[in-house]
């Protein structure tokens, strides 16, 4: 698996998530450590989309994470996961 | 003696327990007496502004007390109501209003038609003042409404590119209420969540299975914009005992570590339906509440009064190689046939299309005789008298114990986050854009049972954000494809028809390549 730099993951995820937020009329700033799901900014519908996007884009299997969404709860958290999975592939 | 329509049945409950809480909403609580009196005032007010029996009243509003009282008010005068999504794109809302030929629209936003806007506190106060002049006692005309009269109109996606409004009679809901009382044990000691949006079929269960069994209902705003932990805390603060939602929501709460007896100590029954709950995920839910709460998988098309079967999840369910739990046995007063494409019965154990019969079958699609004729059909095995079945499009298999299992769809209907979606409606919406010659939506599934909506189109290549905006002006959020992929040409099958299966595999490839 090719290693994707954390900065690239972050910028890609940020633009993807901001697009979803904008569609619900949420134009507030989005920082890397802002909570996405716990805060309620993203909901159950977004969760399915985000999980599938992370799965297809970075080869991370949600079932390997024990279906734990709190591990995708911020842009930084997602970047960490991608980094870990490229170091130790599942 | 029990009432033969929903209004009378509600009044019986009011007479039995007038002071009991009926509705918790926006931080207030209303007893059965208060809710009934408000409904009665609304009934008389509706009549005074010209709403007749049989005329449709559209209620485009969120979960405010007036919404529930107005629905009951319509029920009492025999004017079917239609709850519409106040956040739906204006164009989609217009299509639904046109179909209803609404005699009155109560909405939180401006728009076409004979409309009263109740968008802010001042307008709501004015409406409350207007109805306060009317008498709050029960109306004599409620007794004239029969069980076969329409109670409500519920919109669902349509394959012709426009939503269809299903008309459901009082008797269909009365059977649902009875099943909820007898089989699910819902009674005055219960409190039901109303997390399901009121313009969504599942809320019919919340409202009527609750109120008409003497239980209270708790209006809870969907997740939009609020922390999920708050939603769960609200359910617990109200001591809800029955929680019905789509699997997507339960799976989300599970993923956020919020689906446990610690968070939801009072819930004794969880029910889910509207889409399949993948067994691998269901196992976690089941284990978390083992011995503490019952889990029920329910099934039912909107056209047959919300729910027509339920199945109690037991440990044995997980011992099979099936991906989903069974749909269960049909509820009392439902009949069925499992037929092949030539409308011939399928031998026991075979897979065929489910056709549903009985008094729970709807009255058709509002002002839409073509679609009604397509789906509400004479039982092909009976020609001596009228026997209308609803042709569900669901492919099922039944075992010797009469337990139904879902085996797919006979058409292009899919379930997305519990919402029923006809893929053709999305095709039509995309193709309405200038420069696009053909469009085809498809759903890709991952190994965990999650599904994702993608679309392919041909014609002029366009920016994805433009296409997304175009769709957002026509379709609700759950129907907007997450990616749009341009194809030189949309593949067709031997008959020259666009081939959705090949498009799906092309999308799968293109999607993998793009990432």
CATH of residue A72's domain is 1.10.1200
Give A22→chain B minimum CA distance, Å.
11
Domain boundaries, chain B: 6-319, 421-514
- pLDDT score recorded for residue A56: 82
**ipTM associated with this complex:** 0.92
Query: What range does the domain containing A61 cover?
Result: 6-87
Q: A56–B417: do the CB atoms touch at under 8 Å?
A: no
Q: What is the pLDDT of residue A90?
A: 44
For residue B482, what pLDDT is reported?
87
How far is the alpha carbon of A66 from chain B, nearest alpha carbon, in Å? 8
Residues of chain B with pLDDT under 50: 1, 515
Please judge whether A69 and B448 are an interchain contact, meaning their C-beta atoms are less than 8 angstroms apart: no
From A23, A39, A62, residue closest to B448, measured CB to CB: A62
Query: What is the DSSP pairing of strand B57-60 with strand B104-107?
Result: parallel
Question: At the topology level of CATH, where does B421-514 sit?
Answer: GMP Synthetase; Chain A, domain 3 (3.30.300)
pLDDT at A89 over 60: no
Residue A53 near residue A16, CB atoms below 8 Å: yes
Decide if A44 and B472 are in contact by the 8 Å CB cutoff: no
Is residue A82 one of the residues assigned to a domain?
Answer: yes
Say if A15 falls within a structural domain. Answer: yes
**Cβ contact A70–B255 (<8 Å):** yes
As for how many domains chain A has, the answer is: 1
Return the structure tokens found at B318.
């997980």
Q: Which residues neighbour B129 within 8 Å (Cβ) at sequence distance 6 or greater?
A: none
User: Which option is the CATH number for B6-319: 3.30.70.340, 3.30.565.10, 1.10.760.10, 3.40.50.12780?
Assistant: 3.40.50.12780
Quote the minimal CA–CA distance from A10 to chain B in Å.
Answer: 15
Which residue of chain A comes nearest to B450, CA vs CA?
A48
- Give the per-residue pLDDT at B1: 45
Beta-ladder partners of B309: B299, B330
Determine, for residues B226 and A44 on separate chains, whether the beta-carbon distance falls below 8 Å.
no
Higher pLDDT, B1 or A17: A17
pLDDT for the residue numbered B224: 67
DSSP B331: P
Structure tokens at A43: 């909901």
- Token pair of B246, please? 């789509």
Kindly identify which residue of chain A lies nearest to residue B514, measuring between CA atoms: A57
* Of residues B152, B146, B143, B133, the one with CA closest to residue B44: B133
Exposed, middle or buried: residue B401 (CB in 10 Å: 0-12, 13-18, 19+)? exposed
Structure tokens at B131: 């109805």
Q: Phi and psi of A58, rounded to 5°?
A: -120, 5
Q: Which pLDDT score is estimated for B159?
A: 87
DSSP 3-state assignment of B330?
Answer: strand
Measure in Å the smallest separation between the Cα of B326 and chain A Cα atoms. Answer: 23
- Measure CB to CB from residue A39 to each of B227, B448, B512 and give the nearest one: B227
Closest-CA distance, A67 to chain B, in angstroms, reads 6
pLDDT band for position A65 (50/70/90)? Answer: confident
**Residue A49 counted as domain residue:** yes
Closest residue of chain A to B231, computed from CA coordinates:
A40
Instruction: Tell which of A25, A48, A65, A70 to mutate to test the B interface (max B CBs under 10 Å).
Output: A48
Q: Could you tell me the pLDDT band of residue A4, with boundaries at 50, 70 and 90?
A: confident
Asked whether residue A69 carries a pLDDT value surpassing 80, the answer given is yes
Q: Is residue A1 situated within a structural domain? A: no
Q: Does A40 contact B230 at a Cβ distance shorter than 8 Å?
A: yes
């Amino acid at each position: 698996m090719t290693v994707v730099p954390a900065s690239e993951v972050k910028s890609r995820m940020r633009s993807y998530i901001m697009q979803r937020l904008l569609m619900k009329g949420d134009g507030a700033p989005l920082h890397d450590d802002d909570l996405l799901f716990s805060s309620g900014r993203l909901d159950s519908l977004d969760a399915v989309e985000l999980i599938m996007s992370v799965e297809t884009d970075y080869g991370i299997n949600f079932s390997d994470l024990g279906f734990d969404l709190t591990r995708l709860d911020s842009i930084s958290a997602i970047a960490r996961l991608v980094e870990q999975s490229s170091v130790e592939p599942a | 003696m029990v009432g033969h329509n929903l209004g009378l049945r509600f009044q019986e409950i009011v007479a039995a327990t007038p002071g009991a809480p009926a509705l918790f909403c926006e931080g207030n609580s209303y007893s059965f007496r208060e809710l009934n009196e408000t409904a009665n005032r609304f009934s008389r007010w509706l009549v005074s502004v010209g709403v007749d029996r049989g005329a449709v009243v559209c209620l485009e509003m969120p979960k405010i007390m007036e919404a529930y009282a107005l629905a009951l008010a319509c029920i009492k005068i025999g004017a079917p109501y239609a709850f519409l999504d106040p956040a739906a794109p204006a164009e989609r809302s217009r299509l639904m209003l046109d179909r209803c030929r609404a005699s009155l629209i109560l909405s939180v936003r401006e728009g076409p038609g004979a409309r009263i806007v109740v968008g802010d506190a001042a307008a709501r106060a004015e409406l409350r003042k207007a109805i306060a002049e009317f008498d709050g006692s029960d109306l004599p005309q409620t007794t004239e409404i029969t069980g076969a009269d329409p109670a409500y109109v519920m919109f669902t996606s349509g394959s012709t590119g426009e939503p269809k409004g299903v008309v459901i009679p009082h008797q269909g809901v009365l059977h649902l209420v009875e099943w909820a009382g007898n089989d699910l044990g819902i009674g005055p000691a219960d409190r039901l969540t109303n997390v399901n949006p009121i313009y969504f079929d599942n809320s019919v269960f919340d409202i009527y299975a609750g109120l008409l069994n003497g239980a209270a209902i708790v209006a809870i705003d969907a997740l939009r914009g609020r922390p999920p932990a708050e939603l769960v805390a609200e359910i617990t603060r109200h001591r809800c005992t029955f929680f019905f939602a789509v699997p997507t929501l339960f799976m989300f709460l599970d993923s956020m570590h919020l689906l446990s007896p610690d968070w939801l100590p009072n819930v004794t029954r969880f029910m889910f339906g509207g889409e399949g709950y993948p067994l691998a995920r269901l196992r976690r839910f089941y284990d978390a509440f083992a011995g503490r709460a019952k889990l029920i998988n329910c099934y039912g098309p909107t056209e047959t009064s919300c729910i027509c079967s339920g199945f109690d999840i037991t440990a044995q369910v997980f011992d099979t190689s099936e991906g989903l739990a069974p749909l269960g046995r049909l509820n009392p007063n439902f009949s069925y046939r499992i037929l092949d494409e030539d409308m011939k019965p399928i031998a026991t154990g075979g897979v065929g299309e489910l056709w549903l019969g009985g008094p729970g079958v709807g009255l058709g699609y509002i002002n839409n005789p073509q679609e009604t004729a397509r789906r509400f059909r004479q039982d092909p095995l009976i020609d001596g008298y009228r026997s209308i079945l609803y042709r569900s499009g669901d492919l099922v298999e039944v075992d010797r114990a009469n337990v139904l299992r879902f085996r797919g769809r006979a058409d292009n209907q899919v379930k997305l986050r519990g919402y029923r979606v006809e893929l053709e409606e999305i095709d039509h919406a995309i193709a309405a854009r200038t420069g696009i010659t053909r469009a085809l939506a498809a759903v890709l599934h991952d190994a965990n049972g999650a599904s994702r909506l993608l679309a392919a189109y041909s014609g002029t290549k366009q920016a994805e954000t433009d296409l997304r905006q175009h769709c957002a002006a026509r379709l609700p959020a759950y129907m907007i494809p997450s990616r749009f992929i341009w194809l030189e040409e949309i593949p067709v099958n031997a008959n020259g028809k666009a081939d959705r299966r090949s498009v799906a595999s092309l999308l799968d490839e293109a999607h993998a390549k793009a990432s």
